[in-house]
Structure formats: structure tokens, C-alpha cells
Structure 1
Amino acid sequence: MRAPASSLHRPTVEWFAVTLLCVLLTLVSAVEGWLWRIDQTLYDGVLSAWTQPASDDVVIVSIDDASLASIGRWPWSRRVHAALIDLAREAGARAVVLDLILDAPSPDDPGADMALARAIHHQGRVVLPMTQATTGAMLSGEVRPLDVFADAAAAIGHSQVEFDPDGIARSVYLWEGFGAARHPQLSLALLRLLEPEAADRFPPPPAGDDLDHQQWQRANWLRMPFSGPPGTYTHYSYKAVLSGEVPPEALRGKILLVGTTAAGMGDAVPTPTSGLSRPMPGVEVQANVFDALRRGAAVMPLSPWVSAAVATVMVVVVMLILLYAEARTGLLASFILGASAVLLAGLGLHLGGWWFGPAPAVLGCVLAYPLWSWRRLESAQRYLDAELIALEREGTPLGLPVDEGGRTAADPLERRIHIVRRAAQHQRDVRRFIADTLEHLPIGVVVIDQMDHVILHNERARHLLRAFRNDALLSALRGLPWPTYLPMRDGLPDVSGFSGTRQFELTPDKKRYLLVSVADLFSESSNRPGRVIGLADVTAMHEAQRSREDTMHFLSHDLRAPLASILTLIDGYRDDPVLQAGQIPRIARYARSALDLADGLFRLVRAEGSDPKDFVELDLAGLVDSAADEVWPQANARGINIDVDTRDAEKEEAIIRGDFSLLRRAVINLLTNAVKYGNAGSRVSVSLKAEGTDWVIRVRDQGEGIPADALPRLFKRFSRIVDEGRDKPSGVGLGLIIVKTVAERHGGNITVDSQVGVGSTFELRLPLRGQTADPVGV
């Protein structure tokens, strides 16, 4: 048989191929950015889950729908803005960012521009935005505040934000401008005004001679973290601040960012933390950028090669686990390592401010399991196909015909299923054959594997051990009285040092003898042997041996004694013929005793050797009458009347299958005993009754009865009951054992009911015709 190791070796070549394929896919996807959208989605999720608390000194004054409804249509008079800035100055606001484009003079009220300029100047810390100028689709310059406002403002900064390909605003350039990146980002301009030392971390880019002064220039890209979804910062309605609903204390020391938030007006943009809610107003984006710059909490994207390296390591780890672990463990490891990549990227973003795209690592871990499983399944399929075909070629057990159906199926899967179905049926047939063989063995069999578990046993073993569960069988075997000289292992004989089978005769109790055979059971997969234990009940052999010994004892005594007496009488009176003739009656009595013994033994041997196959139909009523007639002379000699009752046979024929002479002898023996032990002048009754499925022959006497302690000895060989005050009865003690043997050979039984001083009743029960049970061997 082919060794399984040659077919089940580790497919290392395929493992390297799958590992290399997964590594290449992750490398290319990481470097080329194939999974950027997934990475951005994961980034947004992590950023939304781990947000930084918003600064409580940053306040947004929003030009919202309520303000428009209260103050009027947009655009408002610039005097309104001037009033707001004056109110902020009076309340002690630290700075004001007026996120409004003031690039054109007021057409209705020229004095309003001067009023706003004065308010900006008096406040002293007002930052104004500038933006890009476009002509069609081309960037053509800068849109700056009017000079009157620019001269009054403390700083000017650009308000541009960058959109990723998916339309989400995640970053800004800290320096931008037409021809040269000379304008700081609006939030950076505010930071330079309030905290110059913190702003020094973001210096302007060096001027370059190679710049195209006709193009918009950008420098110092920054991916910004967000403090939360829209509405995270404190918002006051423009109207509420202007009308005094917001107390001055709420504005003291605050940094006010004034901008539009009303529907249809603002430059609201989608952000990573917007989620399914509304986009974030531009003024709140500026608040997030300012907070991030002030904390130095910018996100630093790592090189794609970092993502590629992490993905490669995780793919190799997953593949190693898949190579040596179970499929379920490998699947779990794939999910855990993929999730670990996301967790690692999230921890880096939250703790260190750096980010790498974990999607390639997730892709590699997710692809590794199905690709490797596919190759393993292919390998297993080829192996199973080869084994199934080999099994099919071996044929079926017991010479059963091979099912040819399905061999020519066009579908390979259907052919494979058909082969598996035949192999499964083959195994079922083998197991059924083994089980049936075990159940029909005349001895008990218990098969124990290397781990001391019962794997096979039959009904005979359960009966002999009187245990009906696997664990009970094992306990019963360990509880047998094994010889003390025998080496034991786990409570059972250790026969590993012996060749072949060892046999022991054990006595689990005083009434039974078991011949136990023990042999080792070896397998190629384990060095520790199992065991096969055979159990045979040899109690009958011991009984037969004891019976032979008893027979020889009685033959040597009871048969030898009368014969010796005859020879003594003959030899003693050889010289005196007259006296010798006078001893003839005594010689005859001795000869009759020896003949009775020989007849009894002959009848017992014949009863024990009777074969139920030779039984014929007979009439029990006639048999009972014949037996009574046979015994009548003996009864008449003692003045005993024999009453015969066979009336039930008149209603239903008392027909059974049996041996007429043996049954007649059994009834004669019962009647003879009744006459022998009955009181002179009494009655002996014999009846034939139909009871249920049996015919019952009862013989009742009116003797002295049998003591209770003597009843168990009645049906033993050469057993005779001697009552005190009575002569020793004649006979050799075989009559009742003959009755018992005949009854059992006919599938029946014999019982006795006796009362001292009243008499005894013997009951011979025989099954009805056609229902004779299998006889029990003696």
C-alpha cells in the first residue's frame, strides 16, 4: 500500500507561489495607489473615531438663516460688519477673522467702507481673506481685499482648501499665491498674529528663480486633523451677537471667526468628519486648521513603501499560519491581521500623527486565505481522486457487483460525487460486514484502541461481562480477577512482551468460568498498541468435567460395589452348591442395582444427546396415560391410587413436537418418585393442563414433603433426599436430573413445590406445538 506521507507532503512550492503572488499584489497596490479610495475611507473612519477636543477660545460667529431673516437680504451694509467688529473690540475679543471677500467698494454707501476700515483698524487684530481670480477655467490672478481694508487689516491670508479625488477636503497648502507662494493660509496668518513662536514652525518657502510667475504657486502641503463633525466649535448667531443677546463675557479673550453658514451662501465643503450630516462651512474648516496648527497636530502621510512593507510582513505571517495551522485558525488569523493593519494605522494617526494606507495589507490578508485554500483544495482533490480511484479498483467487499453508473458522466464533479458515493457505500458495507461478523461469533469480542477506548464489541461480550455501555465494558474488563503475576497497563494485561495471543481462565464469580484471550493490536500511526480481547464462557465445560468426575466416582462405588458383592458371594460359596443357590436372590438384587445404575446413566446420556431436529409430533394425553399404566404395579403394591386427569386434551389436542420415549420416561420418573416417597394407602395425581402457551404436567403426592434446604439439591446428579426415621430410598439419584434434562431439551422446565407434612407437587412445563424454543445445552 502506498505510504500516505508521500501524497500528503507540504506543498512548499505552491506555498511560495501563493505568497509571492499576494506580496506582489500588495506591493503594486500600495505603490501605485490602487486602493486609495479604501485608504481614504479608512482614514476618515479613524479620524472620526479619534477626534481632538475643540479649543474653547475659538468661537464662530455665523451669518446664518436667522441673521438673514433679522438683518435683511445679503449683502448687508458694511456698517453692520463695522458694528460687529466694534462690539467685539469693546467685549475684549482677542482677534477677529472676517472670512468675507471685500474686493469691491460698497455701491450704495461709500462711507460704509470707511466705517468698516476704521473698525478694522481700531480692533487691531483683524485678519482678512484673499482668494484666486479666475477667467473661465483659468487661474488669472489674486482676489485681494480693497486697499482700504488691506491697509487696515492686521494680516491677510488665503482661504483655499484642497479636495482629494473623491471630493473630500482633507488638506490645505500653508502658502499660496499667484506667481509666488507668498500668502499664508488664513489660519496660519491668524496664528502668526497671535502666537508667532508657534507659527515659526511653518515658515514661508524660499523664493525660487525658476517659478512661473504666471501660475498659481503652492507650498507646504498639510493634511489636517479635524476636531469633530460640523458644529463642534461654539457657534453664535451674527444676529445674537449684534443684538446683545450674547453677553460680552462670552466674547472676552475669544478668537472670533466670522463667516457664512446659511444655506446657499457659504463655501461649505465635505470633510472626513462630516459623515452623513451636512458639509462643514468654510469658516469652521478654518477653525479646524487654526486649532491643528496651534497644537502642531498635523497628519504626516508616510511613504507608500511603508504601507508596502507592512502589507508584506502581514501577508508572510498569514501565509505561515495558513501553512501550519488548521483552516479555521488560518481564517481567523487573516481577519485578525487585516484588522491589525487598520488598528496600527489608526494608532499611528492618533498617537503619532502619521498615517499609512492599510488597505494593501488588508487586501493581502484577505486574498491569502482564499488563494491558499484554493491550492490546498486542488491538492486535496487530486489526492482524494487518486485514493478513490485506487479504492474503486480494489473492488467491493464480499464479492458484491460494482455499480458502473456515473462513470461516463460529463461533469467531473458528478463523476467525483459518484466515486465518493461508491466509496462511502464500500465503507458502510465493510463496517456492516464486520459488525455482523462480530455479532454472530460464538465468543465475545472487545476491541480497544491505543487510547483505551472501546471501538468494537459484540452482544456476546456485553452478555458475558454484564455491561452494556463502552465505559462499562472497559470497567468490567479491568475488574476481572487477572493473575497477579501478569504485567498490567491501564488496568488491562500488557502482553507487549509476548508474541501471539495469551489465554487466561478467570472466574468473575463463583458460578462462571471465562476463557479470556488477549492480543496486541498494532497500527502504523501509533507506537502504542491497542488490544483485542476474546471472551468464551467455559462454565459448561467445567460442569461437564465435574459431571464426568461425579459419574466416575459413582461408577467406581455404586456400580463396583454390587459387582464386587456378586463376585464375593460366588467365590465364598463355591464349595457348597446348596448354600450358593440360597444366595441367588441376593445376587439378583445386586445385579438389578447395577443394571438400574447403568440404565439411568444410559437414559441421562440419551437425554443430553437428543437433537430437536429429530423431534416428531406426539400426543401428551396418550403419553401420560401410558406412563401411569407403567407405574401402576408399583403403586398397587403400596396401596397407592393413581388419579389421571387429561380432560383439557378433550377440548384441544395436546400435540407437541418431541421425543416420545424421553418424555414418557420423564413422567414415569416423576410418578415413580411420587409412589416411592408417598405414604402407603395415599393418592398420587397426575394431570395435563393447557396454560397459556404451555402444556403443564403436574404430579402431586401425599408424602412427607421435602425440606426447603434440600430443594436446591433435587435436580443434581446422584442426589437423594433421606428423611430422618425413614429407610434409605432405592435408586441412584438420576431420575430427576433426567427429567430436568428432558424438559430443557424440549424448551421447557421442571419446578417443584413442597410442604413438609403435606406432600410435593412437580410441574413439568412444555411449550405448545410449533412454539418449542431452542433448547439450552447442558
Structure 2
Amino acid sequence: MKRYYDPWLARIRNLLKAAQGRPVALVVLFGLSLLNLSSEWPGNIARPAFVGALDETLPDSFRTARQLLFDQYQRHFPRIPTAEPVTIVEIDEETLETVGQWPWPRNRLASLIDAIAALKPLAIGLDIYMPEPDQTSPDKVAGNLPKTAAALAAGLRALPSHEAILARSLRAAPTILGAAALDHAAFTTSTDLRSAPILVHGTDPLGRVRRYDYVLASLPELQAAAHGQAMLSVALEQGVVRHIPLIMGLGEKLVPSLPMEMLRLATGSSAIDVFADASGVQAVGVADVLVPTQPGGDIWLHFASIRSTLNRYVSARDILQGTVDPERIRDKLVLVGLTGAGVTDMRTTALGELVPGIEIQAQVIETIFEGRFLRRPTWLKWAESAFIVTFGLLIIWYVPRPQSRFAMFIRVVPKGVAALGVFLHVLNILCCFYIFMRVGLLVDAASIFIILSAVMGCFFTPALLHVDKQTRTEATHAQGREGDNDRTGQAP
């Protein structure tokens, strides 16, 4: 094992010593910079095939570190809500205990919508989709009766269906139905969705946004009655929600997310505006609201802690019983969703909190109202790469110089190198965190640290290998002396 290990160690040591380690450092600098760039390739430049292959081979090389760092930004500086445009009417455990288990008959849901509409909200968004007929509807019940109950069955069929009752309520109120985007077909999926027009200004962004082939939506009768349809889908990365699409593709058309569709309905706009160029979507707007986006039509969401948003929740039971303060609903954007145990869709946010899916939709609307957006524009990635390469080349040129002040500092204070490295790392993190707090830019301090540390390691590794060689040589000599003493029988 030793004979196999020593030649390779010697080759590595000689390679790192060549030209004072500069060639290896250059390879490390440009290789890692390319790997970092491939993990987040700017959309305004065609990605070479070998870069795509590199990203597929090492898909989480820098992306995971970047995401975890951005999560830490938010956990140390979560958004503090300053506006309360949203009220969530939650179908919670108390409501289910009082009104009945979920799913409710559609006429019961219609009663809830009527009660909310009576309090004059700006819009009502339902985080609920109903792709199948209500089996408790009178006509469905009539079909299950025995022939001896023909008179009862005829009377039931004369009553309006629960879908008709719900459709009437949806039509009378400013309602929007949610839908779930899917990549695969199922028994109740379709390939189209009734949605408001999306006006594209510039290049067609359909090829840049997240696209789906199927949608799980409510029945056509209900879609026709509601004043809007919208997607409820969120982007998951390793099970965590970090960014939210404002527009998506369904087949060959663009469709809106629930927050944008609610703003469209509340402002009385006929369409949603999308501004795009060759690099992708630049902004999504409605009326006089313009939201800057990532090239894929999504936004990084600056989360507020669920502890600071609990006052936006109103129990559906209180709405149905008429005991809620009308000001909680009047002129608000109302979201209706499930929060009861076992029936809600829970999501993990960048803050590490497990929240109902409806809470994420509310936070998007809240963020748009406050105008506090997190941004990671394309130019920022290029700026980071330029900084890494420039600083890395400066390290490669300056650090190996034997007469430089840095070299003299190392000779005088060997342990000071570690302290200096820690100081520069902390300074890097603090500067990027300050930029996050002040202007909402997500600067990737993790990649800067990883790549520049690797470059510096190219100059320290030969010294470590030299120390390792000396240690093993001394150990070998010590073993030899012990062997000689054993053969002569003398004490060492």
C-alpha cells in the first residue's frame, strides 16, 4: 500500500510545486468558475453542449450551497409585514367539527361564498379545485334510489344541482377558482383552462417559463361561472418553496398564478401584462403594478414568519355564523383554503417553517403590495463571476511571490493565515448580507468563498504535503531505531 501511495503523493506534490503552484491554481479557478456558471447559466446566452453535460453530471455542485445561503439570509432577516391586504378564510378543524367533514356538498360551499361576498371583498380566491361532480347533488342521490321511490327521485331531479347552486354564487361574487398544474395525465385532468388574456410585450416567453401539459381544474360549468381561473402551483427545490411563478405555460398558452389573477380582478383589468426579451421574462404587471421577475417568470419570495401573519386568518365557521368583524373582509383580497389537520396542503418555506399552501399565496400578494422584491438578475451572476476570476487571478499572481508582504507575513506569523482567511470569509458574508438587507439582491457569497478558498488551497497544499512527508520520514526513522535496539538488546 505504501509503495502505491508514495509515488502518487510525490507526483501531486511535484505538480503543485510546479511554477509555485500557479498552473494548478489557474485550472482550479477557471474549472470551478465554469462549474459554478453552469449551475445557473444566464438565459441571454446559448449554453454550450459541454456546459449542459457538466451541469447534468454535477447538478448540485454549487446550487445547493447557494440555496442554503439564501435561506440563511432570510432566516436572519425575515420580512416584517407592513400591509394587510389579504384575509385568509380558513376551513379549519373548528369549522369541520361544526359544519361537517370535507369535502363539503357544493351548496354548503356556496353558502360560505355568499357569506363572504356579503361583506364586500375586492376578490375571492379559492385554493380549492372541483374536477368531479358532487355526488350529494339531488340528481345524483335520485339515481341511487330504488325503483319504489320513483316519486321521490322525480322530486329530487326537479331541484337544482349543487353545481348549479355553486355556479350561481360564483357568478354573483368576484371569485377566482384555483387549479393545479400537472406533468402527467390523470382521470380528471384536462389540457386547457379558462383564463384571462395575457398580453406579451416583446419576445414570446413561452419557451422560458415553467410549462405543463395537463391541469386539474374545476368542472367547466364552474369555470364558466367564476370571474377568473389561476394556477396554484409553486416551485419546489429539495422540498422547499423558495420562488413562486407568476405566470406559467399550459400547452401553448400562458396562464396566470392566483396572486396575479386576484390583482387583475380587484383592479378591474381585462388582462395581465408580461414584459419579456430574448433573456426571458423581465416583469409581470397588472394595472399600475409592475413586478420584476426572474427570466422564468418567477420571483424569489421574501418570506415573513408565520408567527407574524396569524392575524390574517379568519375561521370559516365565524363567517357562516356571522360573528366575524366585517372590516376583516371589506375591501380585502380574500383567500379561501383548507387548514384543518389531514386535509391541508402543507409546504416548507425558506425560513424552515411548515405552513399551509394558502399562506404562500397570501405572502406573494402581500409582497407585491409592499413592493419589496428579492432579485437575482442575470447581470448579477456575471458580476459575481467577474469578481471571482479577477480576485482569483490577483491571488495567483501575488500570493506565491517570495518577497511579497503576504509571504513575509506568513513567515513571521504562520497561524495568522488561518485568522486572515476567516476574517475575509466573514467579511464576504457580511457584505453580501448587507446588500440583501438594503436592496434585496441575492449575492452568492457561498460560491465566492468556495472557489477562492480552493485557489488559496493550491498554495498551502504543497506545504501540508511537505509536513506530511517529514512526519512519515521521522516515523520511519523512529521505527528503524526501535528495530535496531531490539536486535542488539539495548535500551533506546
Q: TM-score range by the shorter chain?
A: 0.5 to 0.7
RMSD, aligned α-carbons: 3.6
- Cα distance in structure 1, aligned partners of 2:266 and 2:373: 19
Partner of 2:68: 41
Q: Which residue of 2 aligns with 1:50?
A: 77
Q: Give yes or no for contact 2:246–2:297 (8 Å, CA) kept in 1.
A: yes
Counterpart CA distance in 1 for 2:325 and 2:316 is 13
Q: Is the partner of 2:348 in helix, strand or coil? A: coil
CA distance in 2, matches of 1:224, 1:198: 26
- CA–CA separation in structure 1 for the residues paired with 2:388 and 2:113: 54
Structure 2 regions of 5+ residues with no counterpart?
Answer: 1-16, 40-60, 138-159, 190-211, 279-294, 400-405, 480-492
Tell whether the 8 Å contact from 1:78 to 1:116 is kept in structure 2 after alignment.
yes
Query: Do the aligned residues in 2 keep the contact of 1:29 with 1:360 (CA within 8 Å)?
Result: no
Aligned match of 2:256? 184
Give the match for residue 475 of structure 2: 414
C-alpha displacement of 1:162: 1.7
The match for 2:38 is 32
- Name the amino acid aligned to 2:29: V
Whichever of the two has the greater Rg, that structure is: 1
- The aligned residue for residue 422 of structure 2 is 335
1:263 CA drift (Å): 2.6
1:170 to 227, 238, 242: 242
CA 1:411–1:200: 2 relative to 1, 3 Å: closer
Which residue in the other structure is 1:235 paired with? 313
Count of residues in correspondence between the two structures:
366
The one-letter amino acid paired with 2:358 is V
Q: How does 1:371-770 map to 2 (within 5 A)?
A: 371-376=458-463, 411-414=472-475
Partner Cα separation in structure 2 for residue 333 and residue 196 of structure 1: 59
Counterpart contact for 2:73–2:433, Cα < 8 Å: yes
What letter is aligned with 1:256? V
Q: Which residue of 1 aligns with 2:171?
A: 121
* SS at structure 2 position matched to 1:91: coil
- Aligned equivalents of 2:114 and 2:387: distance in 1? 56
Cα displacement (A) at 1:190: 0.9
Corresponding residue number in structure 2 for 1:132: 181
One of 116, 138, 162 as aligned partner of 1:88? 116
Structure 2 Cα separation of the partners of residues 416 and 289 of structure 1: 69
- For residue 31 of structure 1, what is the amino acid of its counterpart? L
Query: Structure 1 regions of 5+ residues with no counterpart?
Result: 1-10, 207-218, 386-409, 419-778
AA partner of residue 259 (structure 1): G
User: Offset of 1:36 from its aligned partner?
Assistant: 1.1
Q: SS of 2:242's equivalent?
A: strand
* Change beyond 3 A, Cα 1:155–1:248: same
TM-score normalized by the length of structure 2: 0.64
> RCO higher in 1 or 2 (8 Å CA, sep ≥ 6)?
2
Q: Could you state the TM-score of these two structures normalised by the residue count of structure 1?
A: 0.42
Change (3 A) 1:188 1:223: same
Counterpart of 1:247 in structure 2 is 325
Give the CA deviation at 1:49: 2.3
1:193 aligns with 2:280: no
Q: CA deviation at 1:285?
A: 1.4
Residues 256 and 292 (structure 1 numbering): CA distance in 2 closer, same or farther, change over 3 Å? same
Letter in 1 for 2:322: G
Match status 1:310 vs 2:387: yes
Deviation at 1:24, TM superposition (A): 2.9
Aligned equivalent of 1:292: 367
How has the CA–CA distance of structure 1 residues 313 and 325 changed in structure 2, closer, same or farther, with 3 Å as cutoff? farther
Q: Is the 8 A contact 2:241 2:348 kept in 1?
A: yes
Question: Which residue pairs with 2:135 in the alignment?
Answer: 107
- Contact 1:61–1:258 (8 Å) recurs in 2: yes
Note if contact 1:96-1:258 (Cα within 8 Å) is conserved in structure 2.
yes
Q: Which of 308, 324, 344 matches 1:266? A: 344
Deviation at 1:350, TM superposition (A): 3.5
Change in CA separation of 1:203 and 1:85 when aligned onto 2, cut-off 3 Å: farther
- Distance of 2:464 and 2:186 partners within structure 1: 61
Rounded to whole Å, the distance in 2 between the matches of 1:293 and 1:241 is 27
Name 1:159's counterpart in structure 2: 232
- What letter is aligned with 2:169? A
Shift of 1:189: 0.6
Q: CA deviation at 1:27?
A: 0.9
Which region of structure 1 is more displaced relative to structure 2, 129-138 or 222-231? Answer: 129-138
Amino acid at match of 1:50: F
With over 3 angstroms needed to count, the CA separation of the structure-2 counterparts of 1:373 and 1:97, relative to structure 1, is same
What residue number does 1:589 align with? none
1:224 to 292, 300, 306: 300
- Cα separation, 1, equivalents of 2:326 and 2:433: 41
Deviation, structure 1 residue 251:
2.0
In structure 2, the residue matched to 1:537 is none
Closer, same or farther: CA 350–171 of 1 in aligned 2, 3 Å = same
Tell me if the contact between 2:234 and 2:245 (Cα under 8 Å) persists in the aligned partners: yes
1:87–1:136: structure 2 CA closer, same or farther, 3 Å change rule?
closer
- Output one character per residue of 1:93-115: Cα deviation in whole Å (capped at 9) or x when no partner: 22211111033332223543333
Kindly state the Cα deviation for residue 241 of structure 1 after the two structures are TM-superposed: 2.7
Matched residue SS, 1:131: strand
2:25/2:458 contact within 8 Å kept:
no
**Residue aligning to 1:632:** none
Partner Cα distance (2:267, 2:96) in 1:
34
